[in-house]
Chain A
């Protein structure tokens, strides 16, 4: 049940944990993610940052987290029907499967489905076929995600879906 909820509602758990230092000395907390891959920190100010399901790890207390409707285009591109949006002012930590690339975009940019980790909320997404009808099948790319706008996006160099496909062909 919680798995189903997670899948639909932005891939995040219903609960978060707040770690506070009530003492007079500095203390350490170690945080990580379950997949193998890079972790990045991003500053959020007036640019809201949207995350792919499961990417969010931690944030400073000034950050507000909300789940937003992401649209069918997002769902088709493997990013989930809902997205997690971080707003406010502060730092967000998020993780990826594989390496993380930060990229500034001005105009159109095409990302394979499942490789988009985070993007600024002003950007538009639309799903299209990688080539023609036949080309999309034979090229092995299938659907791709076209991002339009001006802002920063984060890409992951591997996708869990890709791993699942690779492994399921072996069993």
Chain B
């Protein structure tokens, strides 16, 4: 994976080059451009609700 953070510091933007098979997880809405051949899959933010609800009701 090649990482290039450009336009630092004010308008910093991450330019990532993904090698075959590599992947990256990003906050929803963070993507501003990508090569069309990349696949994008939306996932649940790991154990999010379960943990929160646990925290709220056990506290």
Which A residues have a C-beta under 8 Å from some C-beta of B?
9, 12-34, 36-41, 56-61, 63-69, 82, 91, 93, 95, 99-100
CA distance A56 to B24 in the complex (A): 13
- How many interface contacts (CB-CB < 8 Å) are there between A and B? 191
* With contact pairs A39-B5, A39-B13 given, residues A15 and B45 touching in the complex (Cβ less than 8 Å): yes
Chain B residues with a Cβ closer than 8 Å to the other chain, count: 49
A20 and B38 within 8 A (CB): yes
Contacts of B29 in A (CB 8 A): 13, 34
Question: Interface majority SS on A: helix, strand, loop or mixed?
Answer: strand
* Residues 1-21 of B contacting A (Cβ, < 8 Å): 1-3, 5, 8-21
A17 interface neighbour in B19, B22, B28, Cβ under 8 Å: B28
A39 interface neighbour in B2, B14, B38, B52, Cβ under 8 Å: B14
Contacts of A21 in B (CB 8 A): 18-23, 37-39
Q: List 28 A-B contacts (CB under 8 A).
A: A12-B27, A16-B26, A18-B41, A18-B43, A19-B38, A20-B41, A21-B20, A21-B37, A26-B20, A27-B35, A28-B15, A28-B17, A29-B24, A29-B34, A30-B15, A32-B13, A32-B14, A36-B10, A37-B12, A39-B12, A41-B5, A58-B25, A58-B26, A60-B1, A63-B25, A64-B46, A95-B12, A99-B9
B26 interface neighbour in A17, A68, A100, Cβ under 8 Å: A17
B17 to chain A, nearest CB (A): 5
